[in-house]
Amino acid sequence: MPAPGENFRINADRLWDSLMEMAKIGPGVAGGNNRQTLTDEDAEGRALFQTWCEAAGCTMGVDKMGTMFMTRPGTDPDALPVYVGSHLDTQPTGGKYDGVLGVLAALELVRTLNDLEVQTKHPIVITNWANEEGARFAPAMMASGVFAGEIDMDYAYGRTDLEGASYGDELKRIGWVGDEEVGARKMHAYFEYHIEQGPILEAEEKSIGVVTHCQGLWWLEFTLTGKEAHTGSTPMEMRVNAGLAMGRILEMVQEVAMAAQPGAVGGVGQMKFTPNSRNVLPGKVVFTVDIRTPDQAKLDRMRAEIETRGAAICEELGVGCAIEPVGHFDPVTFAPELVSRVRSAAETLGHSHMDIISGAGHDACWAAKVAPATMIMCPCVGGLSHNEAEEISKEWAAAGADVLLHAVVETAEITA
Ligand code: HGY
Ligand code: MN
Ligand code: MN
């Protein structure tokens, strides 16, 4: 069969309508979403997604981590499927498109193939990975990490949120414990379409990011032990001040990341003081340092320096210090043959494009461990993401979805 021409495109309005419909579930307080993993809102989003996929002729499978697999049959049932997915869970103050665009663009791809009565040799499986964000249960990309054999399922089940609820209990509570062994499924290839979550594509005025790599990551959880004491009557020289140690460590992380420029980031997004009372010096401070760079050696050097200097800061202040890695993956190189398929699809469709390294982590990073995998990106306004003001245009959304359609169909091989 000849490769589809440049008129082979998705229905941009239907994709946009689906995005807006899904965005109504788990609304945020400022126009975005709060549909955190394994919450009732996540369950509601899953149910809507299941209804849509089954209406498009897909059959559902769910694995023991709660990841959803919606299969459109191919003409060769023995052919390994082409998986196309991302995630429906969001940050607490997330946007409407992070993850959701990739899942619903995959659904739109199937809807378009149905409209045109196109058959493919390989089945196509739309995938909604559970707990991509890692906001409620660290690490991020947890279910895809278990799928790739990089994270132990019992460890994952035992992860708890700030209220002490465990992943396993919450998955059971919302009724989404599947029956499939995690990772039993084999993939012919994996594609993920995602907003860039950074400023490059918009600044360069490119509609398509041809993602060649993804930077590596460490999440280092620091637990600092101080001495609870009165903030008013305790003399400065008597304090065992875990809060001060945290402040100095944050400053040091900034310094390490700036010294590693260009191409490195470091910071902290979450911390917890105990007892977290205004006039009690904290007995315990827990926070997670997030460092990332595409350069393997630099990533390892940054981790070593932050751990060594963090321990020294605590020793100087007499504060106890424990450091536990709670998230990690090495820099990822995506499958060159799929990357060039994405690039040529953008060219066929006449979309401006550029090669790009993903700054954010994605389920594709783990999928790349077990199958040829790659990603497609579209710009986002101001490069903003993990913020309720996250925004894209309908045109950007459709351009990437068209590239996804072409690259996936070429990989799944049209038969009719
Ligand atoms: O942390 C990440 O990069 C992703 O947004 N979960
Ligand atoms: Mn995402
Ligand atoms: Mn995200």
State pLDDT tens for residues 368-410. 999 999 999 999 999 999 999 999 999 999 999 999 999 999 9
d(CA 116, CA 110): 10
Cβ atoms 122, 188 nearer than 8 A: yes
Alpha helices in 123-186 (DSSP H): 142-147, 153-158, 167-173
d(CA 277, CA 245): 17
Q: What is the mean pLDDT of residues 147-153?
A: 98
Q: What is the mean pLDDT of residues 268-281?
A: 97
6 pLDDT higher than 90: no
Q: What helix, strand, coil percent values describe the chain, rounded to 5?
A: 35, 25, 40
d(CA 13, CA 16): 5
Instruction: Give the distance (Å) from ligand 2 centre to CA of residue 100.
Output: 8
27 pLDDT higher than 60: yes
Whether 360 lines ligand 1, by a CB cut-off of 6 Å, is yes
Q: In this predicted structure, what is the pLDDT of residue 3?
A: 57
d(CA 264, CA 293): 4
Q: Which atom of ligand 1 lies nearest, measured to the CA of 385?
A: 5
Whether 192 lines ligand 1, by a CB cut-off of 6 Å, is no
Whether 43 lines ligand 1, by a CB cut-off of 6 Å, is no
Please, what is the angle between helix 242-259 and helix 296-317, to 10°?
Answer: 150
Q: What is the mean pLDDT of residues 96-105?
A: 98
Whether 363 lines ligand 1, by a CB cut-off of 6 Å, is no
Cβ atoms 21, 48 nearer than 8 A: yes
pLDDT of 67-85, one tens digit each? 999 999 999 989 999 999 9
Q: What is the mean pLDDT of residues 261-270?
A: 97
Cβ atoms 201, 316 nearer than 8 A: no
Query: In which element (H, E) is residue 405 found?
Result: helix 394-412
1 pLDDT higher than 50: no
Protein residue with least CA distance to atom 1, ligand 1: 361
Tokens of 58: 């897909």
Share of the chain above pLDDT 70, in %: 99
d(CA 12, CA 15): 5
Burial of 27 (0-12, 13-18, 19+ CB in 10 A): middle
Share of the chain above pLDDT 90, in %: 98
317 pLDDT higher than 50: yes
Q: What are the C-alpha distances in Å from 69 to residues 37, 123, 178, 207, 235? A: 17, 12, 10, 29, 60
Protein residue with least CA distance to atom 4, ligand 1: 361
Q: In this predicted structure, what is the pLDDT of residue 183?
A: 98
Instruction: Give the distance (Å) from ligand 2 centre to CA of residue 366.
Output: 13
* DSSP per position, 316-376: HHT-EEEEEEEEEE--EE--HHHHHHHHHHHHHTT--EEEEEESS--HHHHHHHHS-EEEE
Q: What is the mean pLDDT of residues 167-174?
A: 98
The values of phi and psi at residue 205, to 5°, are: 55, 45
Round the average pLDDT of the chain to a whole number and report it: 97
416 pLDDT higher than 90: no
Ligand nearest to the CA of 195: 2
Q: What is the mean pLDDT of residues 307-317?
A: 98
Q: In this predicted structure, what is the pLDDT of residue 7?
A: 79
d(CA 261, CA 280): 38
Give the residue with greater pLDDT, 2 vs 317: 317
Tokens of 210: 């041809």
pLDDT confidence of 2, banded at 50, 70, 90?
A: low
Whether 198 lines ligand 1, by a CB cut-off of 6 Å, is no
23 pLDDT higher than 80: yes
Nearest 10 degrees: Cα torsion 244, 250, 256, 258 = -130
Tokens of 355: 């090669």
- In DSSP terms, which residues pair with 265 in a beta bridge? 292
- Separation of CA 58 from chain center: 24
The values of phi and psi at residue 61, to 5°, are: -125, 145
The values of phi and psi at residue 210, to 5°, are: -90, 100
Q: Which atom of ligand 1 lies nearest, measured to the CA of 362?
A: 4
Whether 134 lines ligand 1, by a CB cut-off of 6 Å, is yes
Q: What is the mean pLDDT of residues 284-293?
A: 98
Instruction: Give the distance (Å) from ligand 3 centre to CA of residue 363.
Output: 10
Instruction: Give the distance (Å) from ligand 3 centre to CA of residue 297.
Output: 25
Q: In this predicted structure, what is the pLDDT of residue 170?
A: 98
